Amino acid sequence: TPFSRITGTGSFLPPRRVTNDDLAQELAARGIETSDQWIIERTGIRARHFAAPDVSSSDLGLEAAKHALEAAGRSAADIDLIIVATSTPDMVFPSSAAILQHKLGIAGCAAFDVQAVCSGFVYALTVADAMIRTGSAKCALVVGAEVFSRILDFNDRTTCVLFGDGAGAVILEASNEPGILASDLHADGKHVGILCVPGHVAGGEVLGKPLLHMDGQAVFKLAVRVLEEAARATLAKAGKTEADIDWLIPHQANIRIMEGTAKKLKLARDKLIVTVDEHGNTSAASIPLALDAAVRSGKVKKGDTLMLEGVGGGFTWGAVLLTY
Ligand code: ACO
């Protein structure tokens, strides 16, 4: 089996939906001013979902995984590899993947987390593809799951309005038909300061601020450039051109970055899958959430060529081209 192919997708959003107006009201109580109009104009976000305090990334990932298994016609017992992309893991250790494995009622298969912030899902999918093609796995569960509400600074209006919680999952199986066609991953650690959660645990205490810090304009400028580069490199590796892309499914951070990338790839606006309006930025969960929404709405059909693209803290970025 020379290929790996997605055989099922699933997603889950925590039930509490917070509109921009809801959030503006909560922030006003802290003396911080924002508005639905500012958030929509700058980001395209209208609402996001926030998990209850006792709900973890693995809880959200479990629901997404169940939906993906059902779509693939598989049961948890068929899974022989679990990779969870998250920057908001349940614990320092063990991995959220190991915790998710137990919640799925299975044991024994390899399970680990991938930490590449908002690029986490394209990293995780690339690792799972490589493990399947080299024969280490046949049926992988690849999850992006986040509770970013836990690491937001609600005294910083420039960041707290941007993010949300959720999870998405795919089942990736060994296949004789082409699925994942090519991928391209990168990181440049010199940009650590423009997007980070600097807090860490030491001597039983949290040292440094355990809340998200971002220089939005610096991230914006880098993001548009590297997303175009990664997309072009991935197309070249697969021997394809922009014209072969049926759907662009980028990390859902900001509608202006997403539309800018589509334009650079000369793609019509209606080839861009958009969920940022209803989900906000869910980091590693945003691409599988958008993919599942596009599959379930009937937009993405079997045989379509999809370009997935992620960019985030690290700085990390990458793309995966696949036949659905
Ligand atoms: N409500 C109202 N006003 C605000 C808010 C808010 N929530 N936030 C900032 N402002 C104000 C600022 O204080 C500033 O006011 P000033 O002009 O009086 O100083 C004004 O709005 C404009 O601020 P800018 O920072 O210049 O706004 P910009 O147009 O750059 O938009 C944004 C900010 C949305 C963060 C943008 O830079 C962006 O999207 N960057 C990319 C961020 C991103 O995509 N991150 C995620 C990628 S990686 C990952 O997902 C982890």
**Residues with Cβ within 8 Å of residue 37, at least 6 apart in sequence:** none
Pairwise CA distance, residues 64 & 98, whole Å: 16
Burial class of residue 228, CB neighbours in 10 A (0-12, 13-18, 19+): middle
Residue 204 has a pLDDT of: 94
Residue 113 has a pLDDT of: 98
Residue 305's beta-bridge partner residues? 323
CATH code (residue 119): 3.40.47.10
Index of the ligand 1 atom closest to the CA of residue 161: 7
- Are 172 and 4 contacting, i.e. CB atoms less than 8 angstroms apart? yes
Tell me if 117 CB under 6 Å of ligand 1. yes
Residue 100 has a pLDDT of: 98
Same-domain pairing of 127 and 188: no
1 pLDDT exceeds 90? no
Across 84-105, average pLDDT: 98
Same-domain pairing of 141 and 280: no
CA of 140 to the centre of ligand 1 (A): 38
Pairwise CA distance, residues 292 & 300, whole Å: 9
Residue 135 has a pLDDT of: 96
Same-domain pairing of 245 and 298: yes
Closest CA to 312 of 289, 282, 279: 282
Question: How does residue 74 score in pLDDT terms, banded at 50, 70 and 90?
Answer: very high
Mean pLDDT for the chain overall: 97
Question: How does residue 253 score in pLDDT terms, banded at 50, 70 and 90?
Answer: very high
Pairwise CA distance, residues 128 & 160, whole Å: 32
User: pLDDT tens digit string along 112-126?
Assistant: 999 999 999 999 999
Same-domain pairing of 166 and 18: yes
DSSP 165: E
Residue 178 has a pLDDT of: 95
User: Residue 49: which domain range?
Assistant: 3-175
Same-domain pairing of 203 and 231: yes
**Residues with Cβ within 8 Å of residue 184, at least 6 apart in sequence:** 230, 233, 234, 237, 318, 319
Residue 261 has a pLDDT of: 94
Residue 158 has a pLDDT of: 97
Angle separating helix axes 255-264 and 216-238, nearest 10 degrees? 40
Point out the least confidently predicted range of 149-158, 216-225, 237-246, 303-312: 216-225
b/e 271-303 (16+ beta carbons within 10 angstroms → b)? bbbbbbebbbbbbbbbbbbbbbbbbeeeebeee
Which among 175, 191, 223 is the end of a domain? 175
Which among 175, 190, 210 is the end of a domain? 175
- Are 194 and 215 contacting, i.e. CB atoms less than 8 angstroms apart? yes
Same-domain pairing of 169 and 191: no
Same-domain pairing of 9 and 127: yes
Same-domain pairing of 170 and 193: no
User: pLDDT tens digit string along 28-44?
Assistant: 999 999 999 999 999 99
User: pLDDT tens digit string along 175-202?
Assistant: 999 999 999 999 999 999 999 999 999 9
* One-letter identity of residue 61: G
Tell me if 195 CB under 6 Å of ligand 1. yes
Tell me if 87 CB under 6 Å of ligand 1. no
Same-domain pairing of 283 and 165: no
Q: What is the total count of domains within the chain?
A: 2
Question: How does residue 310 score in pLDDT terms, banded at 50, 70 and 90?
Answer: very high
Q: The pTM is what?
A: 0.97
Q: Give the distance from CA 284 to its chain's centroid.
A: 3
Same-domain pairing of 232 and 299: yes
Catalytically active residues, by annotation? 118, 251, 281
Tell me if 112 CB under 6 Å of ligand 1. no
User: pLDDT tens digit string along 109-164?
Assistant: 999 999 999 999 999 999 999 999 999 999 999 999 999 999 999 999 999 999 99
CA of 33 to the centre of ligand 1 (A): 13
H or E stretch covering 43: helix 36-43
Pairwise CA distance, residues 72 & 8, whole Å: 4
Which among 144, 175, 206 is the end of a domain? 175
Same-domain pairing of 232 and 133: no
Same-domain pairing of 101 and 201: no
CA-CA-CA-CA dihedral for 255, 144, 2, 184, to nearest 10: 50
Q: Please tell me the residue having the least CA distance from ligand 1 atom 14.
A: 158
Q: Please tell me the residue having the least CA distance from ligand 1 atom 29.
A: 42
Pairwise CA distance, residues 288 & 181, whole Å: 17
Question: How does residue 68 score in pLDDT terms, banded at 50, 70 and 90?
Answer: very high
